[in-house]
Amino acid sequence: MSLFRNAASILLTSFVSIPIALAANVIVTRTLSVSDRGVLQLLTTTAAAVVLFASLGWPMASLYRIKRMGSRPGQVMSAGLLATGLTSLVGLLVVSFVVFGGRPLALDALPPVLLIVGLASVPFQLYLRLLSYIAKGIDRMDLRNISVFAMGAGRLMAIGAAALLVPGSLMLILSLTLASTLVITLITLTVMIRLTGLERRIERVELRESFHFGVQNYAQSLAGQLHEQIDILMMGFLLAVPDDVAYYGIAVGILAQLKLVPESMALALFPRLAGATAKEAGAVAARVCRHGVAWVFLSGVGVAITAPFVVPFVFGEAYSRSLTPLFILLPAMLMLTTYRVLSRYFTALGLQRVTITSQVFSVAANVGLNLVLIPRFGIDGAAVSSLVSYSLETIVLGAVFLRQSGSSFRETFVPRPIADGAFYIDKLRALSRRVRRRTS
């Protein structure tokens, strides 16, 4: 599949998933107390952080081995399943520490069984993450998209069922969501194994090279993803009540939709860059980044205009408190999405040290600012910390990209309404012709 078709398929899945995710969040917000909504946000974020910590970069390595090194999909699948089984044990150890030793202050009063159920999905999420990257490696982006859609739909059904059976029960929401994740993981695993097959003998070179690439990419992926989640995690430790986490979570959830188009482009970008020369990769990354900047800017303007009316109407008047951090984070999302696109360029060329260096400095700045600003200004301080740190890492990485790729500032960051618009029109026309040929 081409970059445009991959991006378009991911984008379509994301657009379909938006109303599903919105419906699930509205049900949760309307049925749970603000405090329980904050607890759910903390548990979800903690589970995602544990998944990142335990993955060791193996999913990205699996895609890299298939696309760039030509490894057999069955060999990569076998090695990945073995490695993910081991990393799942690491994840469960981290979960045990969170439950019994290092839980955040905002979760201190919760019974251990609630924490266990809330974090028990970590192994299943690890396997889904692996299978998603292998699907991209064998050019079956459709399977990745179906899995993403199924996860969203399953979560909505679980939350809806919990709201009907026992309204306001956080435990039931967590339990049914866990069951849904388990079922989807097993189905996805079965389908993927049928496609790739399994090899009984796992070659040592496959394990060694996957581990080597994964560890190199691990620090970059861990730092990048944790940078997006560290503010919520730190609020859990620094704030005694989870209410503010609920307000902040609504703001972050709304702004996450701004990443829809550039994230779709970035997901489709890595397989393309992994098989390209350095010059080709630079030109493609610059074009995708420029398009992403335009999409996020236009989306941000729309959010700024509608949010003051939509947020209290949809989520309730209490969540008007989410508006201040939302407006602070708007420019931060522009920086973040730009960074996420450009980082794929360096990863595909094996230059992870560039992104790792920029992330180390920006994450350190984020943590330091959060320690100072969250106790004094709460969620508004967390939003300011994110804005400063995202800007820092994007400026650093952008400067290195321009020097490394030879692309100009205008080619990379300044939208071209006429030329870029014509590009999308041509691609959509070509896609329409292919669809008509298949249906005729």
Assess if residue 274 is contained within a domain.
Answer: yes
CB-based contact 284:413 (threshold 8 Å): no
Which of the two residues, 377 and 268, has the higher pLDDT score?
377
List helix spans (H) across 58-169.
58-67, 73-100, 112-119, 122-137, 141-165
Residue 389 tokens, joined: 């740190």
Q: Is the pLDDT of residue 376 over 70?
A: yes
The DSSP element (H or E) to which 248 belongs, if any, is: helix 243-256
pLDDT grade for 348, boundaries at 50, 70 and 90: confident
Q: How far is CA 12 from CA 215, 232, 260, 265, 287, in A?
A: 32, 29, 10, 12, 20
Which of the two residues, 154 and 253, has the higher pLDDT score?
154
- Please tell me the least confidently modeled range out of 46-50, 169-173, 191-195, 387-391: 46-50
pLDDT grade for 233, boundaries at 50, 70 and 90: confident
Assess if residue 437 is contained within a domain.
Answer: no
pLDDT of residue 335: 87
Instruction: State pLDDT tens for residues 252-300.
Output: 888 877 776 666 665 555 555 555 566 777 777 787 788 778 888 888 8
CA gap 27, 277 in Å, rounded: 48
CA gap 391, 147 in Å, rounded: 33
Neighbours of 250 (CB within 10 A): 26
Assess if residue 440 is contained within a domain.
Answer: no
pLDDT of residue 264: 63
Instruction: State pLDDT tens for residues 158-201.
Output: 999 999 999 889 999 999 999 999 999 999 999 999 999 888 88
pLDDT grade for 157, boundaries at 50, 70 and 90: very high
Q: Is the pLDDT of residue 319 over 70?
A: yes
| Total number of domains in the chain | 1
Assess if residue 383 is contained within a domain.
Answer: yes
Q: Is the pLDDT of residue 323 over 90?
A: yes
Largest CA distance in the chain: 64
Neighbours of 357 (CB within 10 A): 17
Assess if residue 152 is contained within a domain.
Answer: yes
Among the listed residues 287, 282, 298, the one whose alpha carbon sits nearest the alpha carbon of residue 351? 282
pLDDT of residue 420: 61
Q: Please report where in the chains the tokens 């329980």 appear, as a residue.
A: 36
Q: What is the mean pLDDT of the chain?
A: 82
The boundaries of the domain holding residue 8 are: 3-432
pLDDT of residue 421: 61
Average pLDDT over residues 104-128: 80
Q: Is the pLDDT of residue 241 over 80?
A: no
CA gap 209, 193 in Å, rounded: 22
Average pLDDT over residues 23-38: 89
CB-based contact 58:216 (threshold 8 Å): no
Assess if residue 180 is contained within a domain.
Answer: yes
pLDDT grade for 431, boundaries at 50, 70 and 90: low
Phi, psi of 389 (to 5 degrees): -70, -40
Which of the two residues, 326 and 105, has the higher pLDDT score?
326
- Please tell me the least confidently modeled range out of 78-92, 96-110, 185-199, 348-362: 96-110
CA gap 275, 280 in Å, rounded: 10
Among the listed residues 133, 125, 185, 148, the one whose alpha carbon sits nearest the alpha carbon of residue 14? 148
CA gap 263, 269 in Å, rounded: 9
Among the listed residues 113, 127, 108, 122, the one whose alpha carbon sits nearest the alpha carbon of residue 46? 122
CB-based contact 286:407 (threshold 8 Å): yes
Assess if residue 156 is contained within a domain.
Answer: yes
CB-based contact 334:293 (threshold 8 Å): yes
Counting Cα atoms < 13 Å in the Cβ hemisphere of 40 gives 27
Average pLDDT over residues 130-149: 86
